[in-house]
Amino acid sequence: MSTDPIEGREHAGARIHLWTDVGAVGPLALATRTGGTVIVVTRHGPHRESNEDGALVVCRDDATLIAVADGMGGMNAGEVASRITLERVAERFAEAETSEALRHAVVDGLEAANAEIVESRLGAGTTFVGLIVENDVARTIHVGDSEAYHLGRRGRLKARTLPHSPVGYELEAGHIDEEEAMVHAERHLLTNHVGMLGMRIELGAATPCAPFDRFLVGTDGLLDNLMRDEIVERACTNDEFEAARLLLEDATARMASPRGEPGKPDDLTFVLHVRARESEAVED
């Protein structure tokens, strides 16, 4: 997919916007076909020449997919893994014939990408997290420790993905708190990712959508530098462009924290989707 990601490209009646291995993009606003705005941010980390993260937005008439991937592996292999994964998911999602087939389409894309990466023997892998937003429900699909948030009005957390990592499981079980997790020596370890035999795809339950709901997917450049309540507070700032700016600036500032304080220099990518009022009509 070599087309301009801002303009996107048409595929099977959908419009695909894909960013991989780009230096700095955003906050950049796009309109969806289902009503609402998507804000995209991606940039390579400090002292890095490449960006192993990727961001994806697919606009259909009946649904919107927002997704990010965080690649890993030497010799640019991480960039390849994240690109392959987002490309395969985008194609399958665009080609789905009915709204009922959307989840299966994303799963098919992940399985195709996993097989391709494993067979390439690049020693590469990537996380993936996606949020499918339809008229009345939203669903998460993820592999790895990139996270998705579904937020209601006033920041009420309707749904969140669980990181596939030892630290994520310890935090969820209550064995450690979030401050301990942020500085844990094994925070970078994963138990599951695209590009491994035995990859596991986790499908979230459908959660009801309402006007003004917000949806956020992000890589660990965001998640390792801001606490969850900090992310929610900023993501729910009234103006969505300002919300994205705050997330970007505060995560970037935290990366420069003195040693010993929470903060981890890394590639930073997130996509924020804000639903429109029911009366708003938005064109792609």
Task: Say how far apart CA 12 and CA 94 lie, in whole Å.
Answer: 6
Q: Do the domain assignments include residue 280?
A: no
Is 282 contained in some domain?
no
> What is the C-alpha to C-alpha distance for residues 5 and 15, in angstroms, rounded to an integer?
10
4 lies in some domain: no
Considering Cα of 253, then 41, then 228, then 188, what sign does the dihedral take?
Answer: negative
Structurally, the chain folds into a number of domains equal to 1
Choose among 127, 134, 122, 133: nearest CA to 110. 127
Rounded Cα distance, 204 and 190, in Å = 19
| Residue 114 maps to a domain | yes
What are the pLDDT digits (tens) for 28-47?
999 999 989 999 999 999 87
Mean pLDDT of 104-110: 99
Residue 167, domain member (yes or no): yes
The reply to whether 154 falls in a domain is yes
Here the CATH number for the domain that contains residue 88 is: 3.60.40.10
- Percent with pLDDT over 90 in the chain: 73
Q: How far apart are CA 79 and CA 22, in angstroms?
A: 10
Per-residue model confidence (pLDDT) at position 1: 43
- pTM score, whole prediction: 0.93
The residues, ordered by sequence, that sit 6+ positions from 182 with a Cβ below 8 Å of its Cβ are 224, 227, 262
Query: The tokens of 22 are what?
Result: 């780009």
Residue 130 near residue 64 (C-beta atoms within 8 A): no
Length of the chain: 284
Domain-located, residue 281 = no
Handedness of CA 183, 186, 188, 190 (dihedral sign): negative
DSSP 197-233: TT--PEEPPPEE--TT-EEEEE-HHHHTTS-HHHHHH
pLDDT per residue as tens digits for the range 247-278: 999 999 999 876 656 678 999 999 999 998 65
Can you read off the two tokens belonging to residue 132?
Answer: 């499918």
Q: Which domain holds residue 227?
A: 9-275
Both tokens assigned to 48 = 């890095």
Three-class SS string for 23-83? CEEEEEEEECCCCEEEEEEEECCCCCCCCCEEEEEEECCCCEEEEEEEEECCCCHHHHHHH
Q: pLDDT at position 38, please?
A: 98
With respect to residue 2, please indicate whether it lies within any of the assigned structural domains. no
Q: Which two tokens stand for residue 27?
A: 């906050």
pLDDT above 70 (res 105): yes
